Structure 1
Amino acid sequence: MAQQASESAPAGAVDLVALLDRAPIGAFHIRVLALCVVIAMLDGFDTQAIAFVAPLLSAQWNLPMSQFSSAFAVGLLGLTVGALVLGPLADRFGRKRILLACTTLFGLFALLTAWSTTFQGLLWLRFLTGVGLGGAMPNIIAMTSEYAPQRLRATAVTVMFCGFPLGSMLGGFLAAKIIPVWGREAVFIVGGVLPLLCVPFLALKLPESARFLVSHDKDAAGVGAIVRQLSPEGARLGAATRYYLPEEQISGFTVRHLFSQNRTASTLLLWIAFFCNLLVMYFLVNWLPALLKQSGYPLDAAIYATSTLNLGGVVGGVAVGRLIDRMGPFAILGTAYAMAAVFIGVMANAGGSGWLLYGALFIVGIGVVGAQIGMNAVASSLYPTGLRSTGIGWALGVGRLGSILGPTVGGFLLAQSWAPEAIIQVSLWPAAVAALAVFTLGWVVRARPSTAAAPA
């Protein structure tokens, strides 16, 4: 049963959360953040890779482009499975252990995709790659959140998650250059080799979450070693110092706790926002290259358009994080989603104007990709340590169901011979629903009884 640790704090023990929040930003924080950014970049590159090569595979294998909606969807199904299954496992076995396994998994199967020769084989490899990608994301969000001081937490999470659209953006530019020279296989070779090379480095340099260790009463010496690296205050504490977390403690089946302690409404609204926005995001990142190419743009220009969307996400993510830390999340994120809905309509009706198209894409990226980055920070703040990876993982998992639906609907509409502009315009409606859900979530959180366990 959930209970408040603060009601029975051990005598003489140090409040770890307060210590982490007082710590000045130093080399330890930067190292954790940088390693998580690298994983996010690799995640973004491998998630996007299939969209870069789908037009080539369509021609090479003599398959209609609409059939590749299943290739997009099965990868996203893997992301869903990874988030739903491996997120809760990390709350039980540790962030670092699951993260290393996930990075190995998606690197290995991304690499094997380079030698796929059948569409069926491609589907299986994309699914297994997705499982690893989906399991990695809630853990790097949780890890970043749990080491960042409260005053900079949203900024840290958004900066970290900017690695995802940055990896997609750089991957787009890289794919446009290497595909004509080395072929489509090179995209998957790069996407597989880089994560596998990172695994030993992560094993050596990435610490386990100190909050996880304390919440599970594990490795007291390891917690002390971490604390001594965090700040001068931590360095003065003795090796025998005990630590505690002044927050709700979670035991048993963690998923059911998403609906306890007055969390039901906030959890469901969070899921709606994730579902709708990830539907829009993955609809756009998977189908924009093909839809713009069908509209008459050359392939490299269509890929650059997707990179523009992700560039807007990087810029928007950093800006949104700072605004959240200063002004609170809900008005900022709700407005961003509403803005995205408006500019999707502008983009769909650009009428062949390149400047209008790319300008609208940049703003949509701020509202869709950038705001999703901010929502990850919100998700990490709604739940206590013992529930954080589960809460983030299930929000992402439910969101991935939307990300599966988005590309599937795109493929269906394309098969029905809808005009590319009309297909794009459909996606503004889920963005509007996400805006409404976030505004309502803000009201629910503000109205929640103060007796509910407050996450640290």
Structure 2
Amino acid sequence: MCFAVLVFDGYDLIVYGAVLPELLRYGPWDLQPAEAGTIGSYAAAGMLVGALGAGFLTGRLGHRRILLTGVAWFSLAMTGCALATSAGMFGLFRVAGGIGLGAVMPTAVALTAAYSDPRHRGRSNALMFSGYSVGGILAASLAVVLLPELGFRALFWAGAAPLLFLPVLARHLPPDDIPRTRPVPRGAGPFRELLRPPHRGPALLFAVVSFFGLLLVYGLNAWLPQIMKSAGHPLTDSLLFLVVLNGGAIAGTLVFAPLGDRAGMRRVVALAFGLAAVSILLLSVARAVPVLHALTAVAGFGTVGTQVLVNGHVAAHFPAPVRTAALSWSLGVGRLGAIAGPAFGGLIASSGAAAEWNFYAFAVPAALAAGLVALLPAGGSTP
């Protein structure tokens, strides 16, 4: 069920990148690249509020209510995007949808971690979180089919479909909160406990690494089709790169997550960020389409897939009483990177720089993240 929720989550986030070329060229609001990048950041801004809010409210409302409310919230916001009559209204509904999306993601990760065998927690998290990339593939694939004939609004109407799945979630999600193996000290809420030793240092580091990871995830998913289109590829082929990016994220994550359980997640995360930096850099010089697809797939694993591993590392490192707060903190503060990513891509696109600078710009944060991972805790699962 959490996998299905992440499919919806991924679709709603990545669909903006799939429709962006049409919004820039044929859209009704005469968007410019810088403005389009700013609108692309709106959902991530809402997710910052939603992720931090989930951390505060989960103890009162429980994971079940947070998940159900979040799914209903972002699905209704997608109908608002489909009906928007101005860029301002469209952006407002992207912010609103982001609040629901932000609340859902750490809740789904925490539920999956809580009900997984601790020895295979990284693998379980990877399987669940691959739903995000499946949603991205679905968004790009539907764009190929629907965009030429029905326009961008049809893609947002499709994003309201999770409302039909709500009765299934309501029936089958466990009613009890996730089990606790160690109580939080009296008088200390989860966030207060998280920001005390020994949790404080790791929490700050995970947040910084998530900043770079989410900058890459949201920046590339928002701008890759437009970057490839500006490099001379037809629109359909440009959308295919988005499919390959998220396909690579799924394949790489499912291969590397079990390795992280055995060899240590820190080593695997550092390797993945390094691969992302190299592959994105090579995209600036490669010309043959098969080579471009291969590099894009590696970049997908090294960016989208690596953030999945980082989330799994957070879930494995922190104990159950502060786990949701840790995930909300890491993803919430990391959302600043998600906010920056689309705007960063828009800034590069509107700068008039040569096409290869689009790739240089995203290779740098990947390299920085690879270096910062060395400071993360190396330990395995914490009960």
Q: Give TM-score scaled by structure 1 length.
A: 0.80
* Superposed counterparts of 1:8-407, under 5 Å: 35-58=1-24, 59-61=26-28, 62-192=30-160, 194-208=161-175, 210-212=177-179, 215=180, 245-246=181-182, 249=185, 251-350=187-286, 352-407=287-342
2:58 partner amino acid: A
Q: SS at the partner of 2:376?
A: helix
Alpha-carbon separation, structure 2, partners of 1:251 and 1:380? 23
Q: CA deviation at 1:250?
A: 6.8
Unaligned runs of 5+ in 2: none
Q: Which has the larger radius of gyration?
A: 1
Q: SS at the partner of 2:174?
A: coil
Q: CA deviation at 1:105?
A: 0.2
1:336 partner amino acid: A
1:91 partner amino acid: G
After the TM superposition, which segments of 4 or more aligned residues of structure 1 sit over 4 Å from their partners?
246-251
Q: SS at the partner of 1:317?
A: helix
Q: CA deviation at 1:367?
A: 1.4
Alpha-carbon separation, structure 2, partners of 1:295 and 1:54? 15
Higher mean Cα deviation, 311-320 or 252-261?
Answer: 252-261
Q: Give TM-score scaled by structure 2 length.
A: 0.95
Q: Identity of paired residues, percent?
A: 31
Alpha-carbon separation, structure 2, partners of 1:208 and 1:440? 38
**CA offsets per residue over residues 276-296 of structure 1, 9 Å max, x none?**
111112111111111111111
Contact 1:103–1:196 (CA under 8 A) maintained in structure 2: yes
Q: SS at the partner of 1:114?
A: helix
Higher mean Cα deviation, 80-89 or 283-292?
Answer: 80-89
Alpha-carbon separation, structure 2, partners of 1:333 and 1:209? 33
Alpha-carbon separation, structure 2, partners of 1:423 and 1:191? 29
Alpha-carbon separation, structure 2, partners of 1:102 and 1:163? 16
1:398 partner amino acid: V
1:54 partner amino acid: L
**CA offsets per residue over residues 390-449 of structure 1, 9 Å max, x none?**
110110111110111121122112222112211221111111121122222135x59xxx
1:344 partner amino acid: I
Q: SS at the partner of 1:349?
A: coil
Alpha-carbon separation, structure 2, partners of 1:197 and 1:310? 25
Contact 2:34–2:343 (CA under 8 A) maintained in structure 1: no
Q: CA deviation at 1:123?
A: 0.6
CA RMSD of aligned residues (A): 1.7
What residue is the counterpart of 2:382 in the other structure? 455
Alpha-carbon separation, structure 2, partners of 1:321 and 1:409? 29
**CA offsets per residue over residues 213-236 of structure 1, 9 Å max, x none?**
xx4xxxxxxxxxxxxxxxxxxxxx
Alpha-carbon separation, structure 1, partners of 2:187 and 2:382? 16
Q: How many residues are treated as equivalent by the alignment?
A: 381
1:297 partner amino acid: H
Contact 2:273–2:302 (CA under 8 A) maintained in structure 1: yes
Alpha-carbon separation, structure 2, partners of 1:150 and 1:437? 26
Contact 1:275–1:398 (CA under 8 A) maintained in structure 2: yes
Contact 2:216–2:303 (CA under 8 A) maintained in structure 1: yes
**CA offsets per residue over residues 176-229 of structure 1, 9 Å max, x none?**
11122322211111111x2111111101011145534xx4xxxxxxxxxxxxxx
Q: 1:73 to 1:99 in 2, by over 3 A?
A: same
Alpha-carbon separation, structure 2, partners of 1:41 and 1:250? 38
Alpha-carbon separation, structure 2, partners of 1:249 and 1:307? 46
Unaligned runs of 5+ in 1: 1-34, 216-244, 447-453
Alpha-carbon separation, structure 2, partners of 1:64 and 1:261? 47
1:99 partner amino acid: L
Alpha-carbon separation, structure 2, partners of 1:152 and 1:209? 23
Contact 1:320–1:371 (CA under 8 A) maintained in structure 2: no
Q: CA deviation at 1:252?
A: 3.7
What residue is the counterpart of 1:225 in the other structure? none
Alpha-carbon separation, structure 2, partners of 1:46 and 1:249? 38
Q: CA deviation at 1:65?
A: 3.0
What residue is the counterpart of 1:413 in the other structure? 348
